[in-house]
Chains A and B, each alone.
Chain A
Amino acid sequence: MSILAGRRRRRFASLSGTYYLVLLGLLYLPLAILFIFSVNANTSVAFPLRGFTLEWYERLFDSPALLRAVGNSLIVALSSSVVATSLGTMIALLLVRFEFRARPLIAGLAVLPLIVPYVVLAVALLVLFRAADVPLSLFTVATAHVVVALPFVTLIVLARLVGLGSHLEDAAMDLGASYPATIRLVVLPLIAPAMVAAWLVAFTVSFDEVALALFLAGREQTFPVYLLGQLRFTATVPVLIAAAVLLMLVSLAIVLVAERIRRLR
């Protein structure tokens, strides 16, 4: 490579590095803003800053509606992610190890939720629950979240199963293990990391989801729905921001721990 081309290439490289840094800054700027205003001693969220306070964090804990909404979100996210992970794993096992005529149909059906717009899915489930006389509740929200998380779970577990190949299963069954025993003793331990990753994705998708929940939550609101409703009242905004920062730190910790666990393998 000529010296000139090398220099051009380096300029390209440093330019792209600068671009990365600028974008990273823009991505973290709102997070920094949220943090600053969560400890700013002023109800209106505007400059100049008025000094440091932890008042908003204290007020957080005597806001029962807010705590209840966070609790609701946890219930919905936990239940929907567990159901989605088990169903998605079953679908992935079915798709990867069995040959049958309906396979393309099932594969298509498994990724269909990725294509259906959230508004349409929300409307469809709303009509379904009305037709079946199911009152709106956390259950209806969780059902919607299972549907949207299913493709992610299926694809993540499927990728792992394809990567493993089938020879270990074949070996287990040649040695006399029944199919359920093979799944339990051989396959599940091998795909466990992928299942944990898939569960984590399903959990965060649900915890953050608002487009479906806005249609399907009854009187019990999830945290994003509550947040959306409260944003209009400026007096509570600093408390909301404090709650947001706390949740942000918790989810960050979870992601980092999960990443560590993944690395240990």
Chain B
Amino acid sequence: MLVLLGCLVVPLLLVAVLSLRPSLAGPLLAGFEPTLAHYAASLGFLRLLLTSIVIAAIVAAAATALAYPIAWFLRFVAGRHAALLLLLLLIPFWTSYLLRVMAWKLMLGSEGVINSLLISSGLIDQPLAALLYNRGAVVVTLVYVWIPFAALPILAALQRVDSALHEAAGDLYARPFSQFWRVTLPLSMPGVLVAFFMVFIPTVGEYVTPLLVGGTGGAMYGNIIHDFFTRAANWPLGAAMAVVMLGATLAFALVALRLIDLRRLVAR
């Protein structure tokens, strides 16, 4: 507990203190005139924060939607092979994230696999540049990376759906689609919500993927914070932006807790 207090709560408070300091000069806790100037300056990046939140929402919605059929397949179709098929899905997840993204870069880059294939087959003579280094590439990469992870809570929720309910719905002449729409989907909704927020919350603060595939136009809010702490060396402004981001994520986490009844999810 002390470790968590020392390594999480205290540092977060220090960041809040730093964000009120006029500059980084001098010892951190020495007396100073508190100023809100950095928060005023951070307002200039508010648009980017909103963009990052929208990106995270798109990524989370897409990953959840694309993961749903996987979970459905594993629960209702895969039968006794389900455990093995799930393991196969998760193995790539145990390999390095950075390397998988790097592999995509190798494929999509202007000298990459897709472009060199297209050129050597004579279909195009100029490499397609639009495949990488933009916001679209960031979104696609993140969705791709999250899909297997998002399938897990949905699968857990589906496993608690009694298949007898399907038979009942079928006996009452519900077509497969309306069976799904009116019975399966509502019952698995808690899992869907968990999947959404499990992807959404970390993605808001993402900065490594934009660094790799985003180029200059694909930067997210986290990249600016990273820049202020490294290249631009304006720690107090970076700290103010970190506080703003933390506030936004905590607000979303509270919304998530409101929507998801965790106790019902754990109980069988």
List residues of chain A with CB under 8 Å of any chain B CB.
Answer: 1-2, 5, 8-9, 12-13, 16-17, 19-20, 23-24, 26-31, 33-34, 37, 44-48, 87, 91, 94, 106, 109-110, 112-121, 123-128, 130-131, 143-144, 146-147, 150, 204, 208, 210-211, 214-215, 224, 227-228, 231, 240-241, 244, 247-248, 251-252, 255, 259
Contacts and interface: CB of A to CB of B under 8 A. Distances in A.
A33 B106 contact: yes
Given A17-B73, A259-B87, A124 B14 contact: yes
Contacts of B8: 109, 112-113, 116, 121, 124, 147
A5 B89 contact: no
B259 to A, nearest CB: 15
Nearest to B7: A147
Most chain B beta-carbon neighbours within 10 Å: one of A19, A119, A208 = A119
A19 B245 CA distance: 37
B204 interface: yes
26 contacts: A5-B175, A9-B176, A16-B73, A19-B69, A19-B73, A20-B73, A20-B85, A23-B70, A23-B147, A27-B147, A29-B107, A31-B92, A34-B103, A46-B116, A117-B202, A117-B246, A120-B12, A123-B225, A125-B11, A128-B7, A131-B29, A144-B7, A146-B7, A204-B94, A248-B99, A255-B91
B222 A117 contact: yes
A46 B111 contact: yes
Q: Which 10 A-B pairs have the closest CB atoms?
A: A117-B205, A30-B103, A124-B11, A128-B11, A16-B73, A46-B116, A131-B28, A119-B222, A47-B116, A244-B99
Contact of B14 (A91, A109, A131, A147): A131
Nearest to B207: A119
A160 to B, nearest CB: 13
Contacts of B29: 131
A19 B73 CA distance: 9
A239 B102 CA distance: 13
B1 A48 contact: no
B4 A109 contact: yes
A115 B198 CA distance: 9
Interface string B66-102: 1001101110110000000101110110111111101
Contacts of A45: 106, 111-113
Nearest to A27: B92
B208 A124 contact: no
A20 B176 contact: no
Interface in B90-133: 91-92, 94-100, 102-107, 111-113, 116-117, 120
A124 B92 contact: no
Given A31-B92, A109-B4, 6 more contacts: A20-B85, A37-B106, A116-B12, A120-B12, A124-B15, A204-B94
Contacts of B235: 127
B152 to A, nearest CB: 13
Nearest to A147: B7
Contact of B4 (A12, A31, A33, A110): A110
A211 B249 contact: no
Nearest to A129: B11
B113 A208 contact: no
A120 B246 contact: yes
B11 A47 contact: no
Interface string B50-72: 00000000000000001001101
A1 B167 contact: yes
B3 interface: yes
B144 interface: yes
Contacts of B147: 23, 27
B73 A126 contact: no
A28 B103 CA distance: 11
Contacts of A29: 103, 107
Contacts of B167: 1
Given A30-B107, A127-B28, A150-B4, A116 B116 contact: no
